[in-house]
Amino acid sequence: MKLLLDMYKSAPKEQRDKVQLMAAERKSKAELEELRARWRELEERERRESKKLADEEALRRLRHSEEQIEHLQRRLAATKQVTNHLIRLIRRWLVSLSC
C-alpha cells in the first residue's frame, strides 16, 4: 500500500489529475446508473398506479351501469303493472258496454 502511495506521490501532476478524473468519472457513471435504475423503478410504479386507477374507474363505471339497469328494471316492472291494470279496466269497461 505504501508503495502505491509512493508511486502516486512520485507521479507527475498531470498523471495524478488524470487518475483523479478517471476516479470521478467512474463515480459519476455509477451514480448515473443508480439514477437510471431509480427512474425505471419510478416509471414502473407510475405505470402500475395508472393501471390501478384505470381499473378502479372501470369498476366504478360498471357499478354505475348495474345500478342504472336495476333502476330501469324497477321502472319497467312498475310500468307493466300500471299497463296491466289499465288493460283490466278497459276490458271491464268493454264488458260493461256489451251487456
Strand, coil or helix: what is 11? coil
How confident is the model over 48-95, as pLDDT tens digits?
999 999 999 999 999 999 999 999 999 999 999 999 999 999 999 999
Structural domain contains residue 2: no
Structural domain contains residue 90: yes
pTM over 0.95: no
How confident is the model over 11-61, as pLDDT tens digits?
677 777 888 889 999 999 999 999 999 999 999 999 999 999 999 999 999
- Distance between CA atoms of residues 45 and 38, nearest Å: 10
Q: Read off the C-alpha cell for 95.
A: 264488458
Structural domain contains residue 82: yes
Is 21 within 8 Å of 32 (Cβ atoms)? Answer: no
- Residue 18 confidence (pLDDT): 81
Q: What is the tally of structural domains in the chain?
A: 1
Domain coverage including residue 44: 15-98
Structural domain contains residue 10: no
Strand, coil or helix: what is 1? coil
Is 8 within 8 Å of 19 (Cβ atoms)? Answer: yes
